[in-house]
Every structure is written in C-alpha cells, then in structure tokens.
Structure 1
Amino acid sequence: MRNLPRSLMLFAAGFGTRMAALTAHQPKPLIKVAGRALIDHALNLTDEAGIAQVVVNIHYRGDQLREHLAGRGIAISDETDRILETGGGLRKALPLLGEGPVYTLNSDAVWTGANPLRELGAAWEGGEMRALLLLGRAGQIRGRRGAGDFSLDEAGRISRGGDLTYLGAQILCPEGLHDIPEDVFSLNRLWDVQIAEGTAFGVIHEGLWCDVGHPEGIQIAEEMIA
C-alpha cells in the first residue's frame, strides 16, 4: 500500500548566516527572488501538489514569518526558545503533522521543471521504502559548489558518497525519530539508520534546482527561472 503523505514540514527556522547582511533584519525565507519571498516559492509547490496540511517551523525573526503566514491555514511549530535542527524540529512538529509518512521541504531553494512534491508522490511505494529523497545530477544544480551527497544502486536505494545532490525535498517515515535520544539533531541521523536497513531510496528531479542560501544564489535563481 502506497500510503501517500497528506502533510508537509516546511523548514524555515534557520539563522540564514550565509546570507550575511540580508538576514540582519529579516529571516531568510522572506528574502525575495523574482519579486516573491522564498517561502512563497515553496508554498506554491505545496499548493500545486494539493498538500492538505502544511507545518512551518520558526525560530530566527519568527514573528515576521508568523505575520507573513497569518490567515493562510498553515500550522506553526514554534522553536523560538531553542532551535532544534531538522531532525529535532520535525519530531517536535509531529503532533501537528499527524501519523504516517510526511513530505519535508527546505525553504531556501528555487526549482524549474516538474513539481518536486508530485515527483516524490509518484515514486513513493511505501512498504519497505521508509525514505525517498529527491536528488539532482551535477548538470541540474545551480548556486552550489562541492561534491555530491549520494549514489543510487540499481534498485534505487541510496548510499553515502557519489555525485548526486540532495535537493531538500523528501518523503519520510518519521517513527524512528523517537529512538534518537538528543533533542537537537539532524535528519542525517535517521537517514543513516534507514540506509543501513536498506529502506532509504532516491529519485532524480526532472528540472533544475538552485540553492538560494547565499546572496549570489538570488541572481542565479532569477536567471534560471527567467
């Protein structure tokens, strides 16, 4: 049974330190690319994919994000007192997300081509598939330097190392988060368990992707989507 997710966690709590002065007075998700806030680019993808429940976590300048999202039917997971990273943040938000697998999406990227959430939904099989990460090849990546993150085997399972880059979108079964004792931790902790079990898979995005986590990424993204 495929058991498609009905909810999505949108990560928006980071400090945006790579953005330097651009985040001195506003959170990174409110930085505009092509006249639209980064978080609105992400929410446009959730609207197109028909996601029923969206949860956004907030920390740095969280009051601005709360005001920006007011009246839009979006649940807020408040990390004002303590930022929890991706793993701790997702675990805190689970009561708002509900049971079963969830989508997660980073808010500091811009996409072209197929809707990444629809791509994930089409490839999700459930069963032994406990994680499905959206990946990109080197020629699809804009605004990011460095090595890739993962490789794919013939069955679509991921392993660490290789030339495929994680694009910040996935479907994940989050139950294993409760087995991690720390309060603050990355989702990499859960991925490592799932990779070892052979239950973590990947699928290649059909389109381009730009990292807008640094100032240069704004112009690169605007040129990409123009």
Structure 2
Amino acid sequence: MHAMILAAGRGERMRPLTDHTPKPLLCAGGRPLIVHHLERLAAAGYRHVVINLAWRGEQIREHLGDGRTWGLNIEYSPEPEALETGGGIRQALPLLASDPFLVINGDVWSDHPLTPPALSRDTLAHLILVDNPSHHPEGDFRLCGERVLNEGEVMVPCLTFSGMGWYRPALFANTPTGAFPLAPLLRQAMDRGQVTGEHHPGQWLDIGTPERLAALDQWLT
C-alpha cells in the first residue's frame, strides 16, 4: 500500500518554532510529528511512503533517511517552491501507485487506523471527516450516507476535513503543472458524485499553532 505525507509547508503560524526547523520535525510526546505518522502507517500495513519537501526539507530527509527504521521505503518529492496540496500531489504521482493512495497532512495527529476503504471504480476520493474543532466551527463538507457533498447541497451539519484521504490518480487528470490547491478538485468531483467519506469520532488535532503543539505534547506524555 502506498501513502504520501505532505511536509512542504512553511509553517507560518508556528513561527518562531519553524524558523529553523520544518514543522513535521517538531516534537510531541517525545517524537517528531512525522514519526507518529510513519509509525501508524507501518502498523496499518503500508510499506511505501512518499514525502514532499520544500522548506528546510533537507532536515527531514536527513532525519528519516530511507525509512528502514520503521520498516518502510521512503521516497522524496522535492519542490523548489511549495506547490500547495494539489500541485504537490500531482508532482509526486510518478512515485505513487496507479491504485488509490493515502495522503496525510504532515501537521495533523489522529488515532484513525488508516485502514484503506473499498472504493468503487467511479470514486475518485474518500475523505476522513471529523467533528468541527473550536478554531474551525463552520466545517468544510457535508456527509450524507457515504457521499461527501459541498456544504450547500443538503441540510445536514458540516464536518471538518481531517487532512487525511485516499485518492485515485485520475482525480488529477488534466491538471496543470505548478502550484494549485486540492479543494477545487474535490468540490468538482463531489458535484459529479465521485467522493465518498467517513466520520471519524476519535482523536484528531490540527497542529497549526504552538499552543496546539503544546497541548498535544501534554496529552501524549
């Protein structure tokens, strides 16, 4: 099974912690954030992981190496400038399988088991949604059964996209090279009924500020 960790962001909201250290290498519970991901991926049966790199990316490569410490094969997708989520995934496609692959934001923490879903041939994406945190009360998408919908389509509460999801390479067909966001692609696929999802009621945290990093560190220790 193949997975990608998004690790190219500058981490502006985490400054000054990220002035000299890339956000995925900030520690909580005695280990870098990205190591928590690698441990969970290995436990879930993933063996091949792609990591995109931009800001201070050489530190991530030096720290993780080829991944054998965790029983993984790690490959890197360097970006001279951060390509945003969509552009970063698109550039890394040659390193990923033709089957659906998992993508995880490098700045989230969750106890989701990362078990791959069974996707129909027409499904281009499967998203993990979580309860809305206090810093994002409006949420992102609506979940109606297994279908994920744009927020205005049905009168059910919005949930927050966790930054974890499985994607088919076909989702990125006909997209341009360079930087572009992922959300518009997902919304277009939702309009075609090609996005499914699940609600994860367990632990999840968007580690976007020093305060949230400290809270996670305290909880883990």
Shift in Å, 1:206: 3.8
Letter in 2 for 1:158: V
Q: Is residue 141 of structure 2 the alignment partner of residue 157 of structure 1? A: no
Aligned to 1:127: 121
Tell whether the 8 Å contact from 2:86 to 2:182 is kept in structure 1 after alignment.
yes
Computed over aligned residues only, the root mean square deviation of the Cα atoms, in angstroms, reads 1.7
Aligned to 1:85: 84
Tell whether the 8 Å contact from 1:124 to 1:132 is kept in structure 2 after alignment.
no
Unaligned runs of 5+ in 1: 1-5
Aligned to 2:38: 43
Aligned to 2:76: 76
Tell whether the 8 Å contact from 2:124 to 2:170 is kept in structure 1 after alignment.
no
Shift in Å, 1:188: 1.1
Q: Deviations over 1:8-64 (max 9, x none)?
A: 111000000010100010100000011110110111111111112100000000110
SS for the counterpart of 2:104 is: strand
Once residues 98 and 48 of structure 2 are traced to their aligned partners in structure 1, the CA distance between those partners, rounded to angstroms, is 12
Letter in 2 for 1:137: D
Aligned to 1:172: 167
Shift in Å, 1:152: 1.1
Shift in Å, 1:103: 0.7
SS for the counterpart of 1:179 is: coil
The structure-2 alpha-carbon separation of the partners of 1:111 and 1:10, relative to structure 1 and needing over 3 Å to count, comes to same
TM-score (norm. length: structure 2): 0.89
Aligned to 2:70: none
Once residues 32 and 184 of structure 1 are traced to their aligned partners in structure 2, the CA distance between those partners, rounded to angstroms, is 28
Shift in Å, 1:66: 0.9
Shift in Å, 1:125: 2.6
Once residues 135 and 214 of structure 2 are traced to their aligned partners in structure 1, the CA distance between those partners, rounded to angstroms, is 13
Shift in Å, 1:186: 1.1
Shift in Å, 1:102: 1.0
Tell whether the 8 Å contact from 2:91 to 2:177 is kept in structure 1 after alignment.
no
Once residues 174 and 194 of structure 1 are traced to their aligned partners in structure 2, the CA distance between those partners, rounded to angstroms, is 13
Once residues 223 and 144 of structure 1 are traced to their aligned partners in structure 2, the CA distance between those partners, rounded to angstroms, is 19
| Structure with greater helix share of residues | 1
Aligned to 1:145: 136
TM-score (norm. length: structure 1): 0.87
SS for the counterpart of 2:21 is: coil
Tell whether the 8 Å contact from 1:27 to 1:64 is kept in structure 2 after alignment.
yes
Unaligned runs of 5+ in 2: 68-72, 152-156
SS for the counterpart of 1:68 is: helix
Letter in 1 for 2:137: G
Once residues 222 and 177 of structure 1 are traced to their aligned partners in structure 2, the CA distance between those partners, rounded to angstroms, is 36
Tell whether the 8 Å contact from 1:144 to 1:210 is kept in structure 2 after alignment.
no
Once residues 21 and 34 of structure 1 are traced to their aligned partners in structure 2, the CA distance between those partners, rounded to angstroms, is 20
Q: How many residues align?
A: 211
Tell whether the 8 Å contact from 1:210 to 1:220 is kept in structure 2 after alignment.
no
Q: Is residue 19 of structure 2 the alignment partner of residue 24 of structure 1? A: yes
SS for the counterpart of 1:202 is: strand
Once residues 126 and 106 of structure 1 are traced to their aligned partners in structure 2, the CA distance between those partners, rounded to angstroms, is 24
Q: Deviations over 1:196-221 (max 9, x none)?
A: 11010110114111111111111222
Tell whether the 8 Å contact from 2:98 to 2:168 is kept in structure 1 after alignment.
no
